[in-house]
Amino acid sequence: MTIATDWRLLATGADAAAQRSGVGPQRIVCLTEEPTEWLYLLGEERRIVGISGYTVRPPRAREEKPKVSAFLSAKIEKIVALQPDCVIGFSDLQADIASQLIRHGIQVTIFNQRSVAEIFSMMYQLAAMVGQEARGLDLIRQMQTRLLAIEQAAKSLRRRPRVFFEEWYDPHISAIAWVSELIGIAGGDDCFPELAREPMGKQRIIADGSEIVRRNPDIIFGSWCGRKFRPAHVLARPGWGEVNAVKTQQLFEIKSAEILQPGPAALTEGVEQIHRLIMQWSHEHG
């Protein structure tokens, strides 16, 4: 990193593009997918020097950037060797990784976004960090405008479906806050809104599957933390035969990369899929 050159660009009245290129961290390691996707959308992918092995968006990131972490673990020495001036992570689940890197003298920024508003806040802050506040705000407004349009379209539903979002199957784990909110925007009602307020998966465990049956969802979305969702697994559950979603075969997978990453994908492709399937359900069963 050439900090001296960067600050001189600012001090000597360089053009705006040159100034932006010298603002903020120049060598970023992203421990999760969402900052990687966002930096690519901002046109600042050149700053990324390492990514999570779970990154699939955008696809070319996997070809262009070295993979240096999983989610709960990271190759600390490999990260240190990349000489990052900022490592970006997500949540208390990566606190141990962060503490190790901090002890190596590396700046670490941990975001902890759990709601739609917090995702937008994270995106704005990261855009500002890399000198792309204006472009970030423009992209954010486009996403917000689309969410408002989806929410408005959902008001035409004669009946809102009850939705069970299953983040894991053994034990059952229900939707986290941003997923629950996006279900609401898309036109559905989360069957377990009281659990969505809980930030940790262990706090959203539904120990007794009969409670899901009792709440009788009209639609079941499965997103098994990177594992393929299998509708046949749900159909075979004892006692689930009378659940509306089972009777009408309304069992759908939303890929984890498109809904469980608290970043751009959830606010675009994830909510679009949920909305499309809810509107389809309304036409056929509502």
> To 5 degrees, how large is the angle CA 107–CA 18–CA 119?
45
User: Does one domain contain both 248 and 201?
Assistant: yes
Per-residue pLDDT at 226: 79
Per-residue pLDDT at 23: 80
Per-residue pLDDT at 17: 64
Kindly indicate the confidence band of residue 7, based on its pLDDT and cuts at 50, 70 and 90. Answer: low
Per-residue pLDDT at 4: 41
CATH code of the domain in which 44 resides = 3.40.50.1980
Mean pLDDT, residues 103-126 = 97
Mean pLDDT, residues 256-284 = 97
User: Does one domain contain both 125 and 176?
Assistant: no
Among the three residues 105, 138, 171, which one is the final residue of a domain in this structure? 138
Per-residue pLDDT at 8: 63
User: Does one domain contain both 119 and 238?
Assistant: no
Per-residue pLDDT at 12: 63
Mean pLDDT, residues 74-101 = 97
Q: DSSP readout, 220-266?
A: EEE-BTTBPP-HHHHHTSTT-TTSHHHHTT-EEE--HHHHTSTTHHI
User: Does one domain contain both 129 and 33?
Assistant: yes
Separation between Cα atoms, residue 65 and residue 230, nearest integer Å: 32
User: Does one domain contain both 49 and 82?
Assistant: yes
Could you tell me if residue 143 is inside a domain? no
Could you tell me if residue 237 is inside a domain? yes
pLDDT per residue as tens digits for the range 168-198: 999 999 999 999 999 999 999 999 999 999 9
pLDDT per residue as tens digits for the range 14-39: 566 656 677 899 999 999 999 999 99
User: Does one domain contain both 171 and 208?
Assistant: yes
Among the three residues 79, 113, 138, which one is the final residue of a domain in this structure? 138
User: Does one domain contain both 81 and 170?
Assistant: no
Q: DSSP readout, 2-67?
A: -HHHHHHHHHTT--HHHHHHTSS-SSEEESSHHHHHHHHHTT-GGGEEEEETT--SSHHHHHHS-E
Separation between Cα atoms, residue 126 and residue 148, nearest integer Å: 23
Per-residue pLDDT at 176: 97
User: Does one domain contain both 9 and 124?
Assistant: yes
pLDDT per residue as tens digits for the range 211-247: 999 999 999 999 998 799 999 999 999 999 999 999 9
User: Does one domain contain both 10 and 134?
Assistant: yes
Could you tell me if residue 123 is inside a domain? yes
Could you tell me if residue 150 is inside a domain? no
Whether residue 232 contacts residue 148, with contact meaning beta carbons closer than 8 Å, is answered with no
Could you tell me if residue 149 is inside a domain? no
Per-residue pLDDT at 2: 39
Per-chain mean pLDDT for the chain: 93
User: Does one domain contain both 116 and 167?
Assistant: no
Percent of the chain with pLDDT over 70: 93
User: Does one domain contain both 13 and 114?
Assistant: yes
Per-residue pLDDT at 1: 38
What size, in residues, is the chain?
286
Could you tell me if residue 145 is inside a domain? no
Could you tell me if residue 278 is inside a domain? yes
Per-residue pLDDT at 219: 98
Q: Is residue 84 pLDDT above 60, yes or no? A: yes
Per-residue pLDDT at 279: 97
Q: Could you give the number of structural domains in the chain? A: 2
Element holding 164 (H helix, E strand): strand 162-166
User: Does one domain contain both 74 and 183?
Assistant: no
Among the three residues 90, 112, 138, which one is the final residue of a domain in this structure? 138
Could you tell me if residue 144 is inside a domain? no
Kindly indicate the confidence band of residue 3, based on its pLDDT and cuts at 50, 70 and 90. Answer: very low
Domain containing 18: what range? 3-138
pLDDT per residue as tens digits for the range 133-173: 999 999 999 999 999 999 999 999 999 999 999 999 999 99
Q: Is 149 helix (H, G, I), strand (E, B) or coil?
A: helix
